[in-house]
Structure 1
Amino acid sequence: MLTQLEERLIDDISSGDIAELSTLAAEASIPDLISVVEHVPAKRGAVMFRLLAKDRALEVFEALDAGHQADLLDALRDEQIASIFTDLDPDDRAALLDEVPASVADKLLRGLSRHERGMTAALLGYPKGSIGRRMSPEVVPVRETRTIGYALELLRTRSEEYETLYMIPVMDDTRRLVGVVSLRDMFTAAPDAIIADIMTSPISAQATDDAEDTARQLLAIGKIAMPIVDGENRIVGVLTVDDALEIVEAADTEDVARHGGHEPLRRPYLSTPVLNVVKSRIVWLLVLAVSAVLTVQVLEIFESTLAEVVVLALFIPLLTGTGGNTGNQAATTVTRALALGDVWSKDVLAVLWREARIGFTLGAVLGALGFGVATLVYGVAIGTVIGLTLLSVCTMAASIGGVMPIIAKAVGADPAVFSNPFISTFCDATGLVMYFVIAKAVLGI
């Protein structure tokens, strides 16, 4: 819910009352300003953004999603754009450049100093989706042969070059990672002690590793940061816990969106143009509409069976809904397990066997209940059909729902894409086939 100050700021932006807007914006907190910018279209948000002091404007800008940042840049003056872009961290610049047209990206890069342009270009050289694009190259490792006193002095004199001061990578003479040392350990050690004597074994990731997997690994081990190395184990950057949290949050948001059958907006909802929202949903709706034709085709094939035993039609929503829900439960559970590293692609057979047993047990319980209710109303024959179908559909749906995310991961696709919408459609069509085959066998039609 918006605060009274945020509502007044939005009203002043809409009415064009620049004098009052300037006064209120100067008094507002950074969280208030971020909330306002996220609740209005980018062009209107830029009106208030121009009135902010440089340091406050940068804080607000850094808090926005990369897509929203790109929209805001379109509405700002060139000189303000250059100032903001220069002050961003290299990893934030790389994320923003992915959202703007190539001509704009080239212009922004040309405005950087040679040093800053080099760091940003280095990140852009890594594949999209890799941790190399999201790490900070602002890291100054210390050599293992240096003393603690030397290292502490290095931290004092070059602190602005460090993304984090709490975890310092340690390298050998060839810049290869050999350990890490914490600021706490350095403070408690004697000044003449050698770094190699207090460093610990490093947990690192390669710059080409998947960003989401690496971020989740860092959060799982509970460290403040993780060194990032190249193919030869040379230090090229560091991933901090706050950046890891952002990566995981963005990935989870994307998964939730795709579970619901649409693409993530990558911008705050209220500030996203209506046409962009339509584009994020229409493709999935078209795909699902085409997929649903399979269900219609199945019904058409078994039209004569339905004509002979009309009561079978009454149970179609129950069976398709149960199959879809069972498959989605399995897919959601396994997708989450993949994200946390509890399950790997090599575990596909173990997951299939496990979900088949789970589905069979669920189907047995639901099938027994369905048999009892259907038998009381429509007789033993129909009850048997419903019971056996529920048993079969639940077993099939859980098995398919469990292995589909793993297959997707193995072929490099997003497991979330193979979640609710596609599994529901697949289970609908397959479940109907099983239903009518069982009905024909039991009823002799």
Structure 2
Amino acid sequence: MTGVGDLDLDRTTATVERTLREQRVADLAGVLAPLTVPDVVAVLERLPGRDRAVVYRLLPKEQALEVFEALDPTLQGELVRGLQDEDVAGVFARLGPDDRVSLLDELPATVASRLLRGLVPAERELTAVVLGYPARSIGRRMSPGYVTVHPGDTVPEALARVRSRIDDAETVYTVPVVDDGRRLVGVVSLRDLMRSEPTSVRVEDLMRAPYAVPAASDAEAAARRCADLKLLALLVVDEEERLVGILTVDDALRILEEAESEDQARIGGSEPLRRPYLATPVRAVVRSRVVWLLVLGVGATLTVRVLEAFEATIAQMVVLSVFIPLLIGTGGNTGNQAATTITRALALGDVRPRDVGRVLAREARTGASLGLVLGAAGFVLASLFYGAAVGAVIGITLLAVCTLAAAVGGVMPLAARRLGADPAVFSNPFITTFVDAAGLVIYFLVARAVLGL
């Protein structure tokens, strides 16, 4: 079954909405039948909440589970509230423990408790293991469903063990090797097991050193490690090096996607929506933006106060006001470029808070170089129209502002990480506000010195 294109998907969504409005629910099954799982997810993301549950109930049982797993946790929670209890219990029981935990975080406590009580004891215990870790730790995102082998197992014994757990394990391509105390001692790939012909070969002859992270470590950092090492699965251990779970590459990529979306939203001065845009109510979009706008509005009063303080300087030479948008815009953009670069470098592990001195020096040099180029251009253009004195003010100010903006923009994300805050929060919006005010102070001080005002 092949997917449909964007245009056909829009038509399909429109057909579904029209069929629902006309209350021809029986015809919906025929509309949904040719759609793949990603297509159905895309349709559900575009539907209002009240219609989403109706469409979901018409999906075949196996496809329904795949569709549910592919939805964002927030949409899963809304869908659960629109389904009947027996529908919810069936889907919930068939989810993996890590997916159950993501869903439980979106549900009211009473609903979550009821769903947990409906699980068989073994599944409830696995889910409880994941629930026991902090919200942003990798323990909260790992899967406790895995298959292990022992160093002394022969290859046939190991393959038989993998085969017996193949329906329960999250993945069987990476097989952890543990001792009798469940401590992680190595890892072996299914490929190596299957291509080993002699029955006397043991797992300890094939295993290699494992890559593992503590369960309490940050989920994003663990996911980044999994992606950087190009692993199919990253092993998760407790404080005593006992295996407690695995992070598969698809879950790692999902964590990184969420982190990237969060950083981009905060760099732009808003909170992440945590759900597809078209499925987000307008009031939620407003809430995600209004607080930041209010904070930045208050911060902008600092710029107003600076202008008031130099009102007499502006009155003596009104032409200075012409260049204010250019100078504060250039400073803000320079600071944002530096902050975005360093925030990304932090996420990738290229820099750490202890590198603040090196980052400050590099960004100051970078800002000065940019300032020389832009300042020279500003001097030439301003001199042509307003004279060499005004050109000198613009050139010197651009040099100083670019140097300051780049240095501040590079250091602020590192300072945020040192304080335990999200570096993206300290990036573009706050840097722009700070650089605007500082840039105006520099501008008017340079003007007073050069022009003798």
TM-score where L is the length of structure 1: 0.97
Alignment-derived partner of residue 275 in structure 2: 267
Residue 293 of structure 1 corresponds to 301
Displacement, 1:276? 1.0
- Separation in 2, partners of 1:91, 1:237: 10
Residue 247 (structure 2) aligns with: 239
1:218 is aligned to: 226
Cα distance in structure 1, aligned partners of 2:451 and 2:110: 68
Structure 1 residue aligned with 2:425, among 405, 417, 431? 417
Match of 2:366 among 338, 358, 366: 358
**Further displaced range: 130-139 or 18-27:** 18-27
What pairs with 1:250-265 in structure 2 (closer than 5 Å)?
250-265=258-273
**Cα deviation 1:254-280 (Å, max 9, x = unaligned):** 111112211111111111111111111
Number of the residue aligned with 2:145: 138
Is the Cα–Cα contact under 8 Å of residues 13 and 46 in structure 2 kept in the other structure?
no
How far off its partner does 1:297 sit? 1.1
Amino acid aligned to 2:149: V
One-letter amino acid of the counterpart of residue 317, structure 1: P
Match of 2:235? 227
Deviations 1:144-193 (A, max 9, x none): 12211111010111212211111011112221111110011111223221
1:395 aligns with 2:413: no
Q: Tell whether 2:195 aligns with 1:152.
A: no
User: What displacement does 1:2 show?
Assistant: 4.2
- 2:167 aligned counterpart, secondary structure: helix
Pick which of 1-10 and 27-36 moved more: 1-10
Superposed displacement of residue 22, structure 1 = 2.5
Identity over the aligned pairs, expressed in percent?
Answer: 56
Matched, 1:107 2:114: yes
Give 2:392's aligned residue: 384
1:29 Cα deviation after fit: 2.4
Offset, 1:286 = 0.9
> What does residue 170 of structure 1 align with?
177
- Matched to 1:351, the amino acid is V
**TM-fit CA distance, 1:391:** 0.5
In the TM superposition, residue 33 of structure 1 has moved relative to its aligned partner by 1.2
Q: What 5-or-longer segments of structure 1 have no aligned partner? A: none
Q: 5 Å matches for 1:25-104?
A: 25-104=32-111
Shift, 1:85, TM fit: 1.1
CA distance in 2, matches of 1:145, 1:434: 72
Q: 2:434 is paired with a residue of what secondary structure?
A: helix
Partners of 1:212 and 1:94 lie apart in 2 by 17
Partner Cα separation in structure 2 for residue 113 and residue 266 of structure 1: 31
Give, in whole Å, the separation in 2 of the partners of 1:106 and 1:280: 29
RMSD of aligned alpha carbons: 1.3
Q: Partner amino acid for 2:279? A: S
- Which residue of structure 1 aligns with residue 3 of structure 2? none
In the alignment, the residues of structure 2 paired with residue 410 and residue 148 of structure 1 have an alpha-carbon distance, to the nearest angstrom, of 48
**Is this contact kept in 2: 1:10–1:36, CA < 8 A?**
no
Among candidates 182, 189, 195, match of residue 203 of structure 2 = 195
Deviation by residue 1:191-221 (Cα, 9 ceiling, x = unmatched): 2212111111111111111111111111111
Residues 5 and 28, structure 1, Cα contact 8 Å, conserved in 2: no
Distance 1:102 1:426 in 2: 42
The corresponding residue for 2:444 is 436
Aligned partner of residue 237 in structure 1, secondary structure:
strand
Secondary structure of residue in 2 paired with 1:205: strand
Contact 2:175 2:188 in 1 (8 A): yes
What corresponds to 1:368 in structure 2? 376
CA-to-partner distance for each residue in 1:197-254, whole Å, 9 max, x for gaps? Answer: 1111111111111111111111111111111111111100001111111111111111
What residue identity is the alignment partner of 1:383? Answer: G
2:24 counterpart of 1:17: yes
The 2-side partners of 1:188 and 1:441 are apart by 79
Letter matched to residue 355 of structure 1: E
**Any gaps of 5 or more consecutive residues in structure 2?**
1-5
Tell whether 2:332 aligns with 1:324.
Answer: yes
Relative to structure 1, the CA distance from residue 15 to residue 302 in structure 2 (aligned partners, 3 Å threshold; closer, same or farther) is farther
Once the 2 structures are TM-superposed, how far is the Cα of residue 26 of structure 1 from its aligned partner?
3.1
Query: Is the Cα–Cα contact under 8 Å of residues 147 and 172 in structure 2 kept in the other structure?
Result: no
Question: Residue 189 of structure 2 aligns to which amino acid in structure 1?
Answer: S
Rounded to whole Å, the distance in 2 between the matches of 1:15 and 1:444 is 77
Query: Within the alignment, does 1:161 sit opposite 2:173 as a pair?
Result: no
CA shift for structure 1 position 294: 0.9
Query: Could you say which residue in structure 2 is the equivalent of 1:342?
Result: 350
**Distance of 1:302 and 1:419 partners within structure 2:** 28
Offset, 1:49:
0.8
CA distance in 2, matches of 1:61, 1:149: 37
Structure 1 residue 9: Cα displacement: 2.0
TM-score relative to the length of structure 2: 0.96
Alpha-carbon separation, structure 1, partners of 2:297 and 2:168: 53
